Amino acid sequence: MKAIQVSCPARLTLFFNINGWDNDNVLYTSCNQTIDLCDIITISDSHFNEPNISVTILNSNNISRDKNGSIYRVCTDFFEYTGIKYNHLTISIKKNIPFDSGFDGKNSDVVGVLNALNTFYNANLSGKELIELAKKVDRYAPFFLFGDSAIIDDKKIKPIYHNEYNDFIILIPKIKVDNTIFYDKIKNSTFKDKVPNSGELYNCLYDVMPDDLKEIREYLLKYKNLNHSLSGISHTYFIASKERNVDNDFIIQLNKNFPKYKILLRKRMPEYKYFRMYR
């Protein structure tokens, strides 16, 4: 049995500004950075008579079957576009990226599967073709075809965004939270046009954040030399630094003051295409 494995990284949003709405979808400009927190995807094709696509998503709390979701969709789009015949395609996703955490694990997995299928079946699709297939699932998904850091909006991706941040202290909720609280406030708010500057950390949602996130921000603002921000539309807050210099006492204080949050120490991940082929 032939198989391929790929690591799909999470991303932090260093800059985030809302441009408007397209029906119920938020249009925004963001600058993203991939980090070394990855889902692991394994793809195999067994020689059964009847073609089938089976997707299993696993993590410590959840085992589910994705029959009509984004992974299944990108697979069917890929085979329809290329005309490649498949047998019994099995996709297993080991989830290490938390759900609904602002890390965009869904789109990372979509692009990881797309890249893996392109390699697995020797389809030799161009970058432009892969971008178009990824955009059919989500207009912002193609960011993960570039990886590292890039500026994206609803019209284009600019895979050049200079920042010197290499290490991140990330605070994420220990329990699942409802990010829709942001959307009600966003619809009733007006945001100024803002263009990202090199290495700038910014989020237009500072004023509409829930109280627990405002407490984190106010606490960190006491440290004048810290660079920190909210990651996109999420309950994930992070501190960025050029090199890791973690003060253990500082981490202890974060844990003490914000017990509802889990603290992760992660590094920049400039390359994301880690393929392993085996039989």
The pLDDT of residue 67 is 54
- In tens, the pLDDT along 106-124 reads 999 999 999 999 998 999 9
With DSSP H G I counted as helix, E B as strand and the rest as coil, what are the percentages for the chain, rounded to 5? Answer: 25, 35, 40
What is the total count of domains within the chain?
1
Q: Residue 128 is part of a domain; what is its CATH number? A: 3.30.230.10
Task: Write down the pTM of the prediction.
Answer: 0.86
- In tens, the pLDDT along 38-81 reads 999 998 887 665 677 777 776 645 444 555 588 889 999 999 99
Q: Within the chain, what is the greatest distance between any pair of CA atoms?
A: 64
The answer to whether 33 and 12 have CB atoms below 8 angstroms apart is yes
The pLDDT of residue 129 is 94
The pLDDT of residue 50 is 65
The pLDDT of residue 270 is 67
The pLDDT of residue 275 is 46
Joined together, the tokens standing for residue 153 give 């909006």
If one counts every other C-beta atom within 10 angstroms of the C-beta of residue 206, the result is: 12
The answer to whether 10 and 170 have CB atoms below 8 angstroms apart is no
H or E segment and range at residue 186 = helix 180-187
The CA radius of gyration of the chain, in Å to the nearest whole number, is 19
Identify the domain containing residue 82 by its residue range: 1-279
Task: Pick out the chain residues at pLDDT < 70.
Answer: 1, 47-50, 58-68, 154-155, 159-162, 177-179, 244-246, 270-279
